[in-house]
Amino acid sequence: MQETEGDTGRAGVEPTAACRADVAVRRFIAQFLERMLSCEAGILENRDPEALHEYRVALRRSRALLGEMKGVFPERDTVRCLHRLKWLGALTGPLRDCHVMLGEFPVYEAAVPESLRPALAPLRSHLEQEAARAHRVLADRLRRPAYRRTIESWRRFLERPAPKRPSAPNARAPAGVVCGRRIWKLYRRMLRDAAALGPDSPQEAFHALRKQGKKLRYLLEFSASLQADGKIRGLIAQLKKLQDVLGEFQDASVQRARLLTLAELMRQEGQPVEALLAVGVLVGSMEQRQSRCRGAFRESWEAFGGKPTRRRFRRLFGPGDGEGDRDRRGV
C-alpha cells in the first residue's frame, strides 16, 4: 500500500500551477461531479432540458481532463474510469439528441414554406414520443444500483489521498507544466489536421477536429484556473469562435441523418405526402447549413491557426530554451 500525503488535497485549498498534477486534476474534476449530481433531480423530473445538457458538459470535461492529462494517474485507473464515464455519456446521449431537435423546431418551421408548416406535426409527434421513451429509459437507469455504484466509485477515486511515492510518472509534476505540455501537443495536432481540410473533406474529418478543439478548450480552461492568466482566456475566446462553426456543422450533419431516418419511418406509416415533403425541405436546409459552415471554416481557422495565435501558444505553452521538443517525452 502506498503512503499518502495527507495535506496535499485539503478541502478549501485552490490548486495552482505549482500544485502536484494528480491533486489538481482530482480537485478540478470533483467540481464537475458535484455539478452532475446537482442535475440528477432535474433529469429525473424531466422539467428542464438544460439539466441534462449541464450534466453532459460536466461529464465531457471530466473525460477530457482525465484522458488528456497523461501519466498523472496509473494507467489501469485511468482506463477503468474513462470506461465508466463513457458509459454515462452513452446513457444520456439519446435523450439529449431529442432535446436538441425539439429545441430546433422554431428553426424548422421557419425553413419550410408557410403552407407546409402544419405538415411538420407528424415530425414533432415522432420526436416527442422518442424523447418520452428515451427519458423513461434514462430515468430507469439512473435509479438502478449499477448507476449509483458507478457514481460512488468515481467519487472514491476523486477523494483518494495523494500517494507520497506514486507510480504514475507525472503525478508529482506541477499541474501547470503537465497541462501546458498537453496543450502544446494538442494544438500542434490541430494545426496539422486543419491544414489537410478542404471544402470537400468528409464530415468525419471536421468532426474529429471539433473533438480535438473541445479537448483543447477544456485543457485551456483548466490551465487558466490554475494561474488566472487573462492571455489564456483570450485564446479560449478565439477557440470558441472556431468551435461554433464546427459545432453547427456537426449538428447539421446529425440532424440531417436523423431526419432521413424519421422520413422513412413516416413513409412506412403512410403519412401524407406533405409531411414527407416538409421533412425533405428540412434535409435540404441542413445540407445548406453544412455548406455554409464549410465555407466559414477556413476564415475562422485562420484566426485561430494563424501566426499571431501560434506565437501566443508558443510563448505560453511551447518548449523553453534548451528543452527540445517536449512532444517526444510522451507527455
127-158 pLDDT, tens digit per residue, is 999 999 999 999 999 999 999 999 999 999 99
CA 201 to chain centre: 22
In CATH, the number for domain 17-159+174-313 is 1.40.20.10
Q: Which residue type is seen at 163?
A: P
Q: Do 302 and 173 touch, CB atoms closer than 8 A?
A: no
H or E segment and range at residue 162: strand 162-163
Q: How confident is the model at residue 320 (pLDDT cuts 50, 70, 90)?
A: low
CB 4 within 8 A of CB 162: yes
Taken in order 264, 267, 271, 273, is the CA torsion positive or negative? positive
Query: Per residue in 71-92, pLDDT tens?
Result: 999 999 999 999 999 999 999 9
pLDDT over threshold 80, residue 126: yes
User: 155: helix, coil or strand?
Assistant: helix
Nearest Cα to 70, choosing from 157, 217, 169?
Answer: 169
CA–CA dist 74, 142 (Å, integer):
29
Q: Model-level pTM?
A: 0.88
List the domain boundaries for the chain: 17-159+174-313
Select from 206, 188, 172, 201 the least CA-distant residue to 73.
Answer: 172
Question: E strands along 128-220, which residues?
Answer: 162-163
Segment 235-259, tens digit of pLDDT = 999 999 999 999 999 999 999 999 9
| Phi, psi angles (nearest 5°) of residue 276 | -70, -40
Residues 215 and 213: their CA atoms lie apart, in Å, by: 5
